Amino acid sequence: MGEVNVNAMEHQYIPMGLHVVAGLRGFLRDLGKVKKIYPDVPSIARRMFVTNSMDGLLAALGVNIGGYSPTGDPMLIAASIMGGGVAMGVMSGMVGVYLSEKAERIREVRELEKKLSSKFKEDSVYWRAARLIPIYVALWSGIGIVLFPTLVAVPYIMAAVSGFSMREAFITSLAMALALMGLLGAYLARISGEDPLTSALRGLGLGVLAAIMVYLLKGVLGAIY
Task: Specify the pLDDT at position 114.
Answer: 87
What pTM did the predictor assign?
0.77
How far apart CA 174 and CA 156 sit, in angstroms, is 11
Task: Specify the pLDDT at position 222.
Answer: 81
Task: Specify the pLDDT at position 17.
Answer: 56
Task: Specify the pLDDT at position 9.
Answer: 41
Query: Tens digit of pLDDT for each residue in 48-70?
Result: 888 889 989 999 999 999 988 88
Residues in the chain with pLDDT < 50? 1-4, 6, 9-10, 13
Domain ranges of the chain: 1-37, 39-224
Residue 56 CB contacts under 8 Å (≥ 6 apart), including other chains: 85, 88, 89, 93, 144, 145, 146, 147, 148, 149
Query: Tens digit of pLDDT for each residue in 71-85?
Result: 889 999 999 999 888
